[in-house]
Amino acid sequence: MPWADTAGIEVSPNALAYFAGGLAIGRSPDSISARASGMVASSPSAPLLGQTRDGMSETLYGYTLGGGIEVKAGGGLSLRTEYLYDNFGHADIAVGGAGFGGTIGELTTNSFASPGNRIEYSSQAVRISAIYQFADNQPLAEYVTESDWSGFYLGGGLTMERHRLEFLNGINRLSMTNHLTDTTTRFEPSQEYEGDSVGGHILAGYAHQWGRVVVGAEGDIEIGSTFSRDPNRIEAYYGSTIGGPECLNNPSPGSQAVPTGHFGCVGHRQNFGEVKTYGHIRAKLGYEITPALLAFVTGGVAIGRSPDYFSASASGFIASSPSAPLVGAATVSRGDLEQTLYGYSIGGGLEAKLSRHFRLRTEYIYDDYGSFETKPIGGAGFGGTIGNLTTNSFVSTGNEFDLSSQTVRVTGIVQF
């Protein structure tokens, strides 16, 4: 929540470019923790097992800097588009640490993890605002009071997109059965993934005005708007580093399905290559609120690309003293799967005139490509019985997916 003073320059009688700076107020994370756990085996010794974890929120104060453009639309109404950077500096939050170690056979392990007691927090934001100014006695300049939205136009600007990919017939499950207590714990993580991208776009269109109604058509090309889930990412895996899988279960020796003296961690990962938005072909219907402000809705075709590869991986270890640990890993993948997708696009927004030939547009777009299929990819699993614990896990991306995206765009437009 920023509080800021502003200083601006009048670009035209109806447009203000400004700089803002002031106080930002935020909150630190409510949970900061450090974890250290692991398994070390040295045949014929029993495995060395252990886990410790330690685990807050307070109000933070910092500075905010930013800038943007504010355009008068008439009748006391203005449209503002701005960028803000908030920095809360360093904060002292004592957390502590966690360690794992010991000696087994000829091997001594000593590990420690702590987030320390100082954190640094910052954020970036793009905001779109409609502002009403009371007792606005400043008339719009004459050239903007002319009602003229007709003609060809070109534009370009910033794209901020959130992609969503769902694995409709994928499998991602884990069960752990404790034969001593005859209890089973099951894990079924979500198979819906979301990711953000920032890029640009260019567009061209034509509009014609009848009274206060504006009808037109336009096409655009998106630049750099992609989202992927990288299988090559190396992740901490309880003392080791393994590419890919994430731990599905909380490997607490005291959990329901994992009795004392046992330790388990099983990881799954579903991966995919780049999802990409190519662009749109849309019809546009607008209504002139004032001679300088147009509200509009759009509808048409969205064109995108499916991921070029999919993969699924599973790995893990289960230890039960004094038995030797159960360890395994498997991965399946398939590439050259990209295909062009067509879906529907709906949206809406506002356009404000900065001058007779230049406009600022802010809009929201929702694209839905529905479901699509690829060639079968297969699956990977890990499991078995050790001591009194039976583990059964399997992961697969399936071959049917659902893709959609939500987009906010800021566009500068030149009308001929």
Q: Give one DSSP letter per residue of 191-225, joined into a string.
A: -EEEEEEEEEEEEEEEEEEETTEEEEEEEEEEES-
pLDDT at 253 over 70: no
Strand, coil or helix: 240: strand
- Name the helix (H) or strand (E) containing 145: helix 142-145
Give 35 or 280, the one with higher predicted confidence.
Answer: 280
Q: What is the DSSP letter of 355?
A: S
Q: What is the DSSP letter of 144?
A: H
Q: What is the DSSP letter of 143?
A: H
In contact, 257 and 308? CB cutoff 8 Å: no
Q: How far is CA 408 from the centre of its chain?
A: 14
pLDDT at 398 over 90: yes
CA distance linking residue 332 with residue 399, whole number of Å: 13
Q: What is the pLDDT of residue 18?
A: 79
Q: What CATH architecture applies to the domain 146-416?
A: Beta Barrel (2.40)
Strand, coil or helix: 77: strand
CA distance linking residue 97 with residue 54, whole number of Å: 6
- Name the helix (H) or strand (E) containing 294: strand 293-305
CA distance linking residue 6 with residue 25, whole number of Å: 17
Strand, coil or helix: 111: strand
Q: What is the pLDDT of residue 254?
A: 41
pLDDT tens by residue, 76-103: 777 777 888 888 777 666 666 666 677 7
Mean pLDDT of the chain: 79
Parts of the chain belonging to CATH 2.40.160.20: 146-416
Instruction: Name the pTM for this structure.
Output: 0.77
Classify strands 262-290 and 293-305 as parallel, antiparallel or unpaired.
antiparallel
State the chain's maximal CA–CA distance in angstroms.
Answer: 91
Q: How many C-alpha atoms does 333 have within 13 Å on its Cβ side?
A: 19
In contact, 251 and 263? CB cutoff 8 Å: yes
CA distance linking residue 257 with residue 186, whole number of Å: 9
CA distance linking residue 227 with residue 199, whole number of Å: 11
Q: What is the pLDDT of residue 88?
A: 76
CA distance linking residue 412 with residue 292, whole number of Å: 15
Summarize the chain as % helix, strand, coil (round to 5): 0, 70, 30
The gap between the terminal CA atoms of the chain, to the nearest Å, is 40
pLDDT at 412 over 80: yes
Q: Which of 323, 309, 212, 327 is nearest to 267 (CA)?
A: 327
Residue linked to tokens 């990711």:
195
Q: What is the pLDDT of residue 239?
A: 30
pLDDT tens by residue, 164-174: 999 999 998 88
In contact, 299 and 273? CB cutoff 8 Å: no
Q: What is the pLDDT of residue 245?
A: 43
Query: Which burial class, exposed, middle or buried, applies to 150 when counting CB atoms under 10 A from its CB (0-12, 13-18, 19+)?
Result: middle
